[in-house]
Structure 1
Amino acid sequence: MATSFKAVHYQVNNEAPVRRDFYRIWLILQKGVLQLENGGKKVQQPALIYLPPLAACSFVPAGRQRNGYWCIFTKELMDDHTRRLFPTTTQIFYPEDQALKRIRFYFDQLVQAYHSDDMHRFDSACKLIGLLMHETSLLQVQNATDRLKSRFINLLEKQYPVVDPGMPLKLRKPADFAAELGVHVNHLNAVIQQTTGKTTGQMIAERMVSESVALLRYSDWPVGDIAYSLGFEYANHFTAFFKKHMGETPGAMRK
Protein backbone atom coordinates (compact mmCIF):
# COMPACT_ATOMS: atom_id res chain seq x y z
CA MET A 1 0.00 0.00 0.00
CA ALA A 2 1.37 3.38 -0.90
CA THR A 3 2.18 5.77 1.89
CA SER A 4 -0.40 8.51 2.23
CA PHE A 5 -0.99 11.27 4.72
CA LYS A 6 -2.85 14.52 4.97
CA ALA A 7 -2.68 17.25 7.55
CA VAL A 8 -4.81 20.28 6.79
CA HIS A 9 -6.94 22.86 8.55
CA TYR A 10 -10.64 22.07 8.64
CA GLN A 11 -12.58 23.96 6.01
CA VAL A 12 -16.29 24.75 5.87
CA ASN A 13 -18.14 21.87 4.15
CA ASN A 14 -14.91 19.91 3.89
CA GLU A 15 -15.41 16.83 6.05
CA ALA A 16 -12.49 14.93 7.53
CA PRO A 17 -11.94 11.58 5.80
CA VAL A 18 -13.78 8.55 7.10
CA ARG A 19 -11.77 5.79 5.44
CA ARG A 20 -11.51 3.04 8.04
CA ASP A 21 -8.36 1.45 6.71
CA PHE A 22 -6.23 4.44 7.70
CA TYR A 23 -4.77 5.67 10.96
CA ARG A 24 -6.09 9.08 11.95
CA ILE A 25 -5.05 11.78 14.40
CA TRP A 26 -7.32 14.75 14.97
CA LEU A 27 -6.73 17.93 16.91
CA ILE A 28 -10.06 19.63 17.51
CA LEU A 29 -9.88 23.25 18.62
CA GLN A 30 -13.57 24.08 18.99
CA LYS A 31 -16.63 22.93 20.85
CA GLY A 32 -18.85 20.28 19.38
CA VAL A 33 -19.86 16.64 19.64
CA LEU A 34 -17.81 13.59 18.75
CA GLN A 35 -19.97 10.82 17.35
CA LEU A 36 -18.35 7.58 18.49
CA GLU A 37 -19.41 3.97 18.09
CA ASN A 38 -20.77 3.96 21.65
CA GLY A 39 -22.56 7.32 21.43
CA GLY A 40 -21.91 11.05 21.41
CA LYS A 41 -19.30 12.81 23.54
CA LYS A 42 -19.26 16.57 24.05
CA VAL A 43 -16.01 18.39 23.36
CA GLN A 44 -15.65 21.53 25.48
CA GLN A 45 -11.89 22.08 25.17
CA PRO A 46 -9.05 21.27 22.75
CA ALA A 47 -9.03 17.53 22.13
CA LEU A 48 -6.39 15.26 20.61
CA ILE A 49 -7.98 12.11 19.19
CA TYR A 50 -6.32 8.93 17.98
CA LEU A 51 -8.31 6.63 15.71
CA PRO A 52 -6.91 3.24 14.68
CA PRO A 53 -8.08 1.48 11.51
CA LEU A 54 -11.75 0.40 11.62
CA ALA A 55 -12.61 2.93 14.35
CA ALA A 56 -15.72 4.93 13.46
CA CYS A 57 -15.84 8.57 14.50
CA SER A 58 -17.16 11.89 13.22
CA PHE A 59 -17.24 15.41 14.62
CA VAL A 60 -20.20 17.78 14.62
CA PRO A 61 -19.01 21.34 15.37
CA ALA A 62 -21.07 23.69 17.51
CA GLY A 63 -20.88 26.39 14.81
CA ARG A 64 -20.47 26.59 11.06
CA GLN A 65 -16.71 27.08 11.14
CA ARG A 66 -14.35 24.17 11.69
CA ASN A 67 -11.18 24.81 13.64
CA GLY A 68 -8.52 22.18 14.02
CA TYR A 69 -6.40 19.68 12.14
CA TRP A 70 -6.66 16.13 10.96
CA CYS A 71 -4.00 13.74 9.79
CA ILE A 72 -4.71 10.50 7.93
CA PHE A 73 -1.99 8.05 6.98
CA THR A 74 -1.12 4.40 6.41
CA LYS A 75 1.02 2.22 8.64
CA GLU A 76 4.04 2.81 6.39
CA LEU A 77 4.33 6.31 7.82
CA MET A 78 5.18 4.90 11.26
CA ASP A 79 8.29 3.10 12.38
CA ASP A 80 7.91 -0.04 14.52
CA HIS A 81 8.19 1.85 17.81
CA THR A 82 5.55 4.42 16.83
CA ARG A 83 3.23 1.71 15.54
CA ARG A 84 3.43 -0.10 18.88
CA LEU A 85 2.57 3.13 20.71
CA PHE A 86 -0.47 3.93 18.57
CA PRO A 87 -3.66 3.18 20.57
CA THR A 88 -5.60 0.10 19.48
CA THR A 89 -8.89 1.76 20.41
CA THR A 90 -10.16 5.32 20.06
CA GLN A 91 -8.38 7.51 22.60
CA ILE A 92 -9.16 11.12 23.52
CA PHE A 93 -6.75 13.42 25.34
CA TYR A 94 -7.13 17.02 26.46
CA PRO A 95 -3.75 18.76 26.18
CA GLU A 96 -3.25 22.10 27.86
CA ASP A 97 -0.88 25.06 27.65
CA GLN A 98 2.62 24.02 26.59
CA ALA A 99 1.60 20.55 25.43
CA LEU A 100 -1.08 22.05 23.19
CA LYS A 101 1.41 24.52 21.71
CA ARG A 102 3.83 21.71 20.87
CA ILE A 103 1.09 19.59 19.31
CA ARG A 104 -0.14 22.49 17.16
CA PHE A 105 3.45 23.10 16.06
CA TYR A 106 3.79 19.45 14.96
CA PHE A 107 0.56 19.67 12.97
CA ASP A 108 1.70 22.90 11.33
CA GLN A 109 4.90 21.12 10.34
CA LEU A 110 2.84 18.25 8.93
CA VAL A 111 0.87 20.72 6.83
CA GLN A 112 4.11 22.23 5.58
CA ALA A 113 5.55 18.81 4.78
CA TYR A 114 2.40 17.77 2.94
CA HIS A 115 2.54 20.78 0.64
CA SER A 116 6.30 20.56 0.18
CA ASP A 117 8.10 19.22 -2.89
CA ASP A 118 10.95 17.99 -0.70
CA MET A 119 11.81 14.40 -1.56
CA HIS A 120 12.23 13.70 2.17
CA ARG A 121 8.81 15.01 3.17
CA PHE A 122 7.53 11.56 4.13
CA ASP A 123 10.54 11.02 6.37
CA SER A 124 9.77 14.36 8.02
CA ALA A 125 6.13 13.35 8.46
CA CYS A 126 7.18 10.04 10.02
CA LYS A 127 9.31 11.87 12.59
CA LEU A 128 6.51 14.34 13.35
CA ILE A 129 4.01 11.53 13.92
CA GLY A 130 6.55 9.96 16.25
CA LEU A 131 6.72 13.24 18.18
CA LEU A 132 2.91 13.29 18.42
CA MET A 133 2.99 9.78 19.84
CA HIS A 134 5.59 10.90 22.38
CA GLU A 135 3.22 13.66 23.49
CA THR A 136 0.54 11.02 23.86
CA SER A 137 2.77 9.01 26.17
CA LEU A 138 3.19 12.09 28.36
CA LEU A 139 -0.57 12.70 28.36
CA GLN A 140 -1.22 9.08 29.32
CA VAL A 141 1.07 9.51 32.33
CA GLN A 142 -0.80 12.69 33.25
CA ASN A 143 -4.15 10.92 32.91
CA ALA A 144 -2.96 8.10 35.16
CA THR A 145 -1.76 10.67 37.69
CA ASP A 146 -5.11 12.47 37.68
CA ARG A 147 -6.98 9.18 38.06
CA LEU A 148 -4.91 8.16 41.09
CA LYS A 149 -5.48 11.55 42.72
CA SER A 150 -9.23 11.25 42.13
CA ARG A 151 -9.31 7.72 43.52
CA PHE A 152 -7.44 8.85 46.62
CA ILE A 153 -9.79 11.79 47.23
CA ASN A 154 -12.85 9.60 46.69
CA LEU A 155 -11.49 7.02 49.13
CA LEU A 156 -10.71 9.74 51.66
CA GLU A 157 -14.19 11.26 51.42
CA LYS A 158 -15.86 7.86 51.54
CA GLN A 159 -14.94 7.58 55.23
CA TYR A 160 -16.94 10.68 56.12
CA PRO A 161 -19.12 11.77 57.75
CA VAL A 162 -18.44 9.68 60.85
CA VAL A 163 -21.83 8.48 62.12
CA ASP A 164 -20.96 5.89 64.77
CA PRO A 165 -18.47 6.53 67.60
CA GLY A 166 -18.02 2.79 67.92
CA MET A 167 -16.70 2.39 64.35
CA PRO A 168 -13.32 4.14 64.08
CA LEU A 169 -11.75 5.16 60.78
CA LYS A 170 -9.88 2.32 59.09
CA LEU A 171 -7.67 4.45 56.85
CA ARG A 172 -5.60 7.04 58.71
CA LYS A 173 -2.09 6.93 57.26
CA PRO A 174 -0.72 7.34 53.72
CA ALA A 175 0.36 3.70 53.78
CA ASP A 176 -3.23 2.64 54.57
CA PHE A 177 -4.55 4.47 51.52
CA ALA A 178 -1.73 3.23 49.29
CA ALA A 179 -2.47 -0.37 50.23
CA GLU A 180 -6.18 0.10 49.51
CA LEU A 181 -5.38 1.72 46.15
CA GLY A 182 -2.87 -0.96 45.22
CA VAL A 183 0.11 1.37 44.77
CA HIS A 184 3.36 1.97 46.61
CA VAL A 185 3.09 4.65 49.27
CA ASN A 186 6.00 6.59 47.74
CA HIS A 187 4.17 6.73 44.40
CA LEU A 188 0.98 7.93 46.06
CA ASN A 189 2.90 10.58 47.99
CA ALA A 190 4.59 11.81 44.81
CA VAL A 191 1.32 12.02 42.87
CA ILE A 192 -0.54 13.89 45.62
CA GLN A 193 2.36 16.31 46.10
CA GLN A 194 2.57 16.93 42.35
CA THR A 195 -1.15 17.46 41.79
CA THR A 196 -2.20 19.28 44.97
CA GLY A 197 0.96 20.86 46.34
CA LYS A 198 0.26 19.09 49.63
CA THR A 199 1.53 15.87 51.13
CA THR A 200 -0.75 12.87 51.49
CA GLY A 201 -0.48 13.23 55.25
CA GLN A 202 -1.61 16.86 55.04
CA MET A 203 -4.65 15.92 52.98
CA ILE A 204 -5.62 13.22 55.47
CA ALA A 205 -5.05 15.48 58.48
CA GLU A 206 -7.00 18.41 57.02
CA ARG A 207 -10.02 16.21 56.35
CA MET A 208 -9.79 14.73 59.84
CA VAL A 209 -9.62 18.20 61.39
CA SER A 210 -12.66 19.28 59.39
CA GLU A 211 -14.62 16.28 60.67
CA SER A 212 -13.41 16.91 64.21
CA VAL A 213 -14.75 20.46 64.13
CA ALA A 214 -18.11 19.27 62.80
CA LEU A 215 -18.45 16.62 65.51
CA LEU A 216 -17.47 19.04 68.27
CA ARG A 217 -19.97 21.64 67.09
CA TYR A 218 -22.91 19.54 66.00
CA SER A 219 -22.81 16.34 68.06
CA ASP A 220 -23.09 15.66 71.78
CA TRP A 221 -20.47 12.91 71.72
CA PRO A 222 -17.88 13.10 74.49
CA VAL A 223 -14.42 14.15 73.31
CA GLY A 224 -13.15 10.65 74.09
CA ASP A 225 -15.73 9.13 71.73
CA ILE A 226 -14.85 11.61 68.99
CA ALA A 227 -11.18 10.74 69.44
CA TYR A 228 -11.91 7.01 69.18
CA SER A 229 -14.16 7.43 66.12
CA LEU A 230 -11.30 9.21 64.32
CA GLY A 231 -8.87 6.42 65.11
CA PHE A 232 -7.09 7.84 68.16
CA GLU A 233 -6.52 5.23 70.84
CA TYR A 234 -6.10 7.86 73.54
CA ALA A 235 -8.03 11.11 73.93
CA ASN A 236 -4.90 13.08 74.82
CA HIS A 237 -3.38 12.13 71.44
CA PHE A 238 -6.45 13.57 69.73
CA THR A 239 -6.23 16.71 71.86
CA ALA A 240 -2.60 17.24 70.85
CA PHE A 241 -3.45 16.64 67.18
CA PHE A 242 -6.39 19.04 67.28
CA LYS A 243 -4.47 21.79 69.07
CA LYS A 244 -1.59 21.50 66.60
CA HIS A 245 -3.92 22.22 63.69
CA MET A 246 -6.52 24.52 65.26
CA GLY A 247 -4.54 26.34 67.94
CA GLU A 248 -6.95 25.35 70.72
CA THR A 249 -8.10 22.21 72.47
CA PRO A 250 -11.30 20.33 71.55
CA GLY A 251 -12.80 21.33 74.88
CA ALA A 252 -12.07 25.01 74.29
CA MET A 253 -13.75 24.91 70.89
CA ARG A 254 -16.84 23.34 72.38
CA LYS A 255 -17.33 26.05 75.00
Structure 2
Amino acid sequence: MKTEGLKEFYEHKMQPLPENMNATAGHFNIFRIEDCLSGTTTIQYARRDYYKITLIRGVNRYHYADKSIEVDGTSMIFFNPKVPYTWEHISGEATGYFCIFTEPFFTEKLRGSLQELPMFAIGGKPSYILSQADEEAIVAVFEKMLTEIRSDYAFKYDLLRSYLNELIHLALKTEPASNLYDHPNANTRITSVFRELLERQFPIETPQQRFTMKSARSFAESLAVHVNHLNRAVKATTGKTTTAIISERLVAEAKALLRHTDWNVAEISNSLGFEEASHFNNFFRKHTSLTPSRYRTV
Protein backbone atom coordinates (compact mmCIF):
# COMPACT_ATOMS: atom_id res chain seq x y z
CA MET A 1 0.00 0.00 0.00
CA LYS A 2 1.46 3.32 -1.07
CA THR A 3 2.24 6.17 1.31
CA GLU A 4 1.81 9.58 -0.29
CA GLY A 5 4.25 12.23 0.89
CA LEU A 6 4.05 15.98 0.42
CA LYS A 7 6.15 15.85 -2.73
CA GLU A 8 3.78 13.31 -4.31
CA PHE A 9 0.79 15.40 -3.21
CA TYR A 10 2.04 18.47 -5.09
CA GLU A 11 3.04 16.42 -8.13
CA HIS A 12 -0.45 14.86 -8.20
CA LYS A 13 -2.04 18.31 -8.00
CA MET A 14 0.41 19.58 -10.65
CA GLN A 15 1.52 22.40 -8.40
CA PRO A 16 5.06 23.70 -7.77
CA LEU A 17 6.72 22.62 -4.56
CA PRO A 18 6.33 25.40 -1.95
CA GLU A 19 9.39 27.12 -0.55
CA ASN A 20 8.52 26.12 3.01
CA MET A 21 8.05 22.40 2.28
CA ASN A 22 11.22 21.35 4.09
CA ALA A 23 10.99 23.93 6.84
CA THR A 24 12.02 22.70 10.29
CA ALA A 25 8.84 24.29 11.68
CA GLY A 26 6.75 21.92 9.58
CA HIS A 27 4.56 22.48 6.56
CA PHE A 28 1.12 24.04 6.03
CA ASN A 29 -0.94 24.90 2.96
CA ILE A 30 -4.57 25.57 2.07
CA PHE A 31 -6.65 25.06 -1.10
CA ARG A 32 -10.12 25.36 -2.56
CA ILE A 33 -11.39 21.93 -3.58
CA GLU A 34 -12.72 23.12 -6.93
CA ASP A 35 -9.21 24.36 -7.84
CA CYS A 36 -7.67 20.92 -7.25
CA LEU A 37 -10.02 18.35 -8.77
CA SER A 38 -8.15 18.20 -12.12
CA GLY A 39 -11.03 16.36 -13.76
CA THR A 40 -11.30 13.59 -11.15
CA THR A 41 -13.47 13.22 -8.09
CA THR A 42 -11.78 10.11 -6.70
CA ILE A 43 -8.38 9.86 -5.03
CA GLN A 44 -6.20 6.80 -4.59
CA TYR A 45 -6.59 4.69 -1.47
CA ALA A 46 -3.37 5.30 0.44
CA ARG A 47 -1.82 6.44 3.65
CA ARG A 48 -0.51 10.03 3.74
CA ASP A 49 2.35 11.31 5.84
CA TYR A 50 0.53 14.56 6.63
CA TYR A 51 -2.71 15.65 8.28
CA LYS A 52 -5.65 17.02 6.33
CA ILE A 53 -8.82 18.92 7.27
CA THR A 54 -11.56 19.16 4.64
CA LEU A 55 -14.81 21.07 4.41
CA ILE A 56 -16.82 19.69 1.51
CA ARG A 57 -20.36 20.05 0.14
CA GLY A 58 -22.54 17.56 -1.71
CA VAL A 59 -22.81 13.79 -1.31
CA ASN A 60 -19.41 12.21 -0.67
CA ARG A 61 -18.14 8.82 0.44
CA TYR A 62 -14.95 8.28 2.43
CA HIS A 63 -13.29 4.91 2.99
CA TYR A 64 -11.26 4.72 6.21
CA ALA A 65 -9.41 1.38 6.39
CA ASP A 66 -12.34 -1.08 6.15
CA LYS A 67 -15.00 1.47 7.15
CA SER A 68 -17.02 3.77 4.90
CA ILE A 69 -18.61 7.11 5.73
CA GLU A 70 -21.20 8.57 3.37
CA VAL A 71 -22.11 12.20 4.02
CA ASP A 72 -24.92 14.19 2.41
CA GLY A 73 -24.57 17.92 2.96
CA THR A 74 -21.74 20.06 4.24
CA SER A 75 -19.30 18.21 6.41
CA MET A 76 -15.88 18.55 7.93
CA ILE A 77 -13.56 15.54 7.72
CA PHE A 78 -10.30 15.06 9.61
CA PHE A 79 -7.68 12.74 8.11
CA ASN A 80 -4.58 11.56 9.96
CA PRO A 81 -1.40 9.80 8.79
CA LYS A 82 -2.14 6.57 10.67
CA VAL A 83 -5.24 5.69 8.66
CA PRO A 84 -5.22 5.05 4.88
CA TYR A 85 -8.22 6.49 3.08
CA THR A 86 -9.82 7.29 -0.24
CA TRP A 87 -12.58 9.70 -1.23
CA GLU A 88 -15.18 9.69 -3.97
CA HIS A 89 -17.69 12.39 -4.87
CA ILE A 90 -21.17 10.93 -5.42
CA SER A 91 -23.37 13.86 -6.41
CA GLY A 92 -23.93 17.57 -6.02
CA GLU A 93 -21.36 20.29 -6.50
CA ALA A 94 -17.93 19.32 -5.13
CA THR A 95 -16.88 22.58 -3.53
CA GLY A 96 -15.19 23.53 -0.29
CA TYR A 97 -11.74 23.84 1.19
CA PHE A 98 -8.96 21.72 2.61
CA CYS A 99 -5.70 22.35 4.38
CA ILE A 100 -2.75 20.03 4.83
CA PHE A 101 -0.12 20.21 7.54
CA THR A 102 2.53 18.18 9.32
CA GLU A 103 2.62 17.53 13.04
CA PRO A 104 5.70 19.76 13.64
CA PHE A 105 3.75 22.70 12.23
CA PHE A 106 0.91 22.19 14.69
CA THR A 107 3.02 21.40 17.77
CA GLU A 108 5.91 23.84 17.32
CA LYS A 109 4.43 26.51 19.58
CA LEU A 110 1.42 24.70 21.03
CA ARG A 111 1.23 22.29 23.90
CA GLY A 112 -0.23 18.84 23.56
CA SER A 113 -0.44 16.24 20.84
CA LEU A 114 -2.73 15.93 17.84
CA GLN A 115 -3.53 12.38 18.94
CA GLU A 116 -5.13 13.79 22.10
CA LEU A 117 -7.84 15.46 19.99
CA PRO A 118 -11.01 13.38 19.43
CA MET A 119 -11.02 13.78 15.65
CA PHE A 120 -7.44 12.55 15.29
CA ALA A 121 -7.51 9.85 17.99
CA ILE A 122 -7.47 6.21 16.93
CA GLY A 123 -11.10 5.14 16.86
CA GLY A 124 -12.22 8.75 17.17
CA LYS A 125 -14.92 10.48 15.14
CA PRO A 126 -13.39 11.96 11.95
CA SER A 127 -16.60 13.33 10.39
CA TYR A 128 -18.66 16.31 11.57
CA ILE A 129 -21.95 17.33 9.94
CA LEU A 130 -22.28 21.11 9.86
CA SER A 131 -25.32 23.30 10.32
CA GLN A 132 -25.58 26.44 8.21
CA ALA A 133 -24.24 28.54 11.10
CA ASP A 134 -21.34 26.11 11.64
CA GLU A 135 -20.53 26.18 7.94
CA GLU A 136 -20.51 29.97 7.80
CA ALA A 137 -18.15 30.21 10.78
CA ILE A 138 -15.75 27.59 9.41
CA VAL A 139 -15.79 28.98 5.86
CA ALA A 140 -14.81 32.36 7.33
CA VAL A 141 -11.74 30.77 8.93
CA PHE A 142 -10.73 29.00 5.70
CA GLU A 143 -11.07 32.28 3.81
CA LYS A 144 -8.84 34.02 6.35
CA MET A 145 -6.31 31.21 5.85
CA LEU A 146 -6.39 31.70 2.07
CA THR A 147 -5.81 35.42 2.47
CA GLU A 148 -3.01 34.98 4.97
CA ILE A 149 -1.10 32.27 3.07
CA ARG A 150 -0.71 34.74 0.17
CA SER A 151 0.39 37.64 2.37
CA ASP A 152 3.89 38.93 3.08
CA TYR A 153 3.26 39.20 6.82
CA ALA A 154 6.42 38.08 8.63
CA PHE A 155 4.49 36.07 11.23
CA LYS A 156 1.80 34.67 8.96
CA TYR A 157 2.48 31.04 9.91
CA ASP A 158 1.92 31.84 13.58
CA LEU A 159 -1.42 33.33 12.59
CA LEU A 160 -2.23 30.33 10.37
CA ARG A 161 -1.47 28.03 13.28
CA SER A 162 -4.01 29.95 15.33
CA TYR A 163 -6.58 29.62 12.55
CA LEU A 164 -5.90 25.87 12.42
CA ASN A 165 -6.58 25.64 16.14
CA GLU A 166 -9.78 27.61 15.63
CA LEU A 167 -10.98 25.15 12.97
CA ILE A 168 -10.43 22.24 15.33
CA HIS A 169 -12.32 23.87 18.17
CA LEU A 170 -15.19 24.97 15.95
CA ALA A 171 -15.62 21.32 14.97
CA LEU A 172 -15.43 20.16 18.58
CA LYS A 173 -18.11 22.67 19.56
CA THR A 174 -20.56 20.98 17.20
CA GLU A 175 -20.59 18.03 19.64
CA PRO A 176 -21.94 18.08 23.21
CA ALA A 177 -19.04 18.82 25.55
CA SER A 178 -19.79 15.72 27.62
CA ASN A 179 -19.04 13.52 24.60
CA LEU A 180 -15.62 14.98 23.82
CA TYR A 181 -13.42 13.71 26.60
CA ASP A 182 -13.49 10.82 29.02
CA HIS A 183 -12.25 11.24 32.56
CA PRO A 184 -9.38 8.75 32.69
CA ASN A 185 -8.76 6.37 35.55
CA ALA A 186 -6.23 3.57 35.84
CA ASN A 187 -8.26 1.23 33.62
CA THR A 188 -8.85 3.79 30.86
CA ARG A 189 -5.21 4.83 30.88
CA ILE A 190 -3.87 1.30 30.43
CA THR A 191 -6.52 0.58 27.78
CA SER A 192 -5.54 3.74 25.92
CA VAL A 193 -1.86 2.77 25.94
CA PHE A 194 -2.74 -0.77 24.81
CA ARG A 195 -4.78 0.59 21.88
CA GLU A 196 -2.00 2.99 20.91
CA LEU A 197 0.55 0.17 20.95
CA LEU A 198 -1.78 -1.94 18.81
CA GLU A 199 -2.30 0.86 16.29
CA ARG A 200 1.41 1.57 15.95
CA GLN A 201 1.70 -1.69 14.03
CA PHE A 202 -0.71 -0.51 11.34
CA PRO A 203 -1.35 0.10 8.55
CA ILE A 204 0.49 -2.77 6.85
CA GLU A 205 2.08 -1.11 3.82
CA THR A 206 4.22 -3.81 2.20
CA PRO A 207 4.04 -7.61 2.05
CA GLN A 208 7.37 -7.65 3.90
CA GLN A 209 5.95 -5.82 6.92
CA ARG A 210 4.81 -8.19 9.65
CA PHE A 211 2.37 -7.86 12.52
CA THR A 212 4.04 -9.55 15.48
CA MET A 213 2.14 -8.76 18.70
CA LYS A 214 -0.91 -10.98 18.39
CA SER A 215 -1.58 -12.02 21.98
CA ALA A 216 -2.69 -10.28 25.16
CA ARG A 217 0.43 -11.65 26.85
CA SER A 218 2.78 -10.01 24.35
CA PHE A 219 1.09 -6.64 24.88
CA ALA A 220 1.20 -7.08 28.65
CA GLU A 221 4.93 -7.78 28.50
CA SER A 222 5.52 -4.65 26.44
CA LEU A 223 3.45 -2.60 28.88
CA ALA A 224 5.22 -4.17 31.90
CA VAL A 225 1.95 -5.29 33.50
CA HIS A 226 0.53 -8.71 34.33
CA VAL A 227 -1.63 -10.10 31.56
CA ASN A 228 -4.56 -10.52 33.97
CA HIS A 229 -4.31 -6.85 34.91
CA LEU A 230 -4.38 -5.82 31.25
CA ASN A 231 -7.33 -8.10 30.52
CA ARG A 232 -9.34 -6.75 33.47
CA ALA A 233 -8.64 -3.12 32.55
CA VAL A 234 -9.58 -3.60 28.89
CA LYS A 235 -12.74 -5.54 29.79
CA ALA A 236 -13.81 -2.92 32.35
CA THR A 237 -13.25 -0.06 29.90
CA THR A 238 -14.53 -1.51 26.64
CA GLY A 239 -16.69 -4.48 27.59
CA LYS A 240 -14.53 -6.58 25.26
CA THR A 241 -11.62 -8.92 25.86
CA THR A 242 -8.11 -7.95 24.85
CA THR A 243 -8.06 -10.84 22.40
CA ALA A 244 -11.33 -9.67 20.82
CA ILE A 245 -9.97 -6.16 20.23
CA ILE A 246 -6.77 -7.51 18.68
CA SER A 247 -8.83 -9.82 16.45
CA GLU A 248 -11.16 -6.99 15.39
CA ARG A 249 -8.18 -4.87 14.37
CA LEU A 250 -6.63 -7.75 12.45
CA VAL A 251 -9.91 -8.38 10.61
CA ALA A 252 -10.21 -4.67 9.76
CA GLU A 253 -6.68 -4.62 8.34
CA ALA A 254 -7.26 -7.87 6.46
CA LYS A 255 -10.41 -6.40 4.85
CA ALA A 256 -8.52 -3.27 3.83
CA LEU A 257 -5.68 -5.26 2.28
CA LEU A 258 -8.06 -7.58 0.46
CA ARG A 259 -10.07 -4.65 -0.92
CA HIS A 260 -7.33 -2.20 -1.75
CA THR A 261 -4.18 -4.15 -2.67
CA ASP A 262 -3.36 -6.76 -5.29
CA TRP A 263 -1.38 -8.89 -2.82
CA ASN A 264 -2.27 -12.56 -2.87
CA VAL A 265 -3.86 -14.20 0.17
CA ALA A 266 -0.59 -15.84 1.21
CA GLU A 267 1.18 -12.46 1.28
CA ILE A 268 -1.60 -10.90 3.34
CA SER A 269 -1.62 -13.89 5.67
CA ASN A 270 2.12 -13.62 6.25
CA SER A 271 2.06 -9.85 6.79
CA LEU A 272 -0.64 -10.28 9.44
CA GLY A 273 1.50 -12.74 11.36
CA PHE A 274 -0.09 -16.06 10.42
CA GLU A 275 2.35 -18.93 9.99
CA GLU A 276 0.11 -20.69 7.47
CA ALA A 277 -2.37 -19.31 4.97
CA SER A 278 -4.86 -21.93 6.16
CA HIS A 279 -4.72 -20.43 9.67
CA PHE A 280 -5.53 -17.01 8.22
CA ASN A 281 -8.39 -18.48 6.17
CA ASN A 282 -9.90 -20.09 9.27
CA PHE A 283 -9.47 -16.90 11.33
CA PHE A 284 -11.04 -14.68 8.67
CA ARG A 285 -13.95 -17.04 8.04
CA LYS A 286 -14.63 -17.29 11.78
CA HIS A 287 -15.01 -13.51 12.05
CA THR A 288 -16.72 -12.72 8.73
CA SER A 289 -18.37 -16.00 7.61
CA LEU A 290 -16.44 -15.60 4.34
CA THR A 291 -13.12 -16.85 3.09
CA PRO A 292 -10.59 -14.14 2.15
CA SER A 293 -10.94 -15.00 -1.53
CA ARG A 294 -14.72 -14.82 -1.36
CA TYR A 295 -14.64 -11.51 0.52
CA ARG A 296 -12.51 -10.06 -2.26
CA THR A 297 -15.19 -10.75 -4.85
CA VAL A 298 -18.36 -9.69 -3.05
TM-score, with normalisation over the residues of structure 1? 0.50
Rg larger in structure: 1
Bigger helix fraction: 1
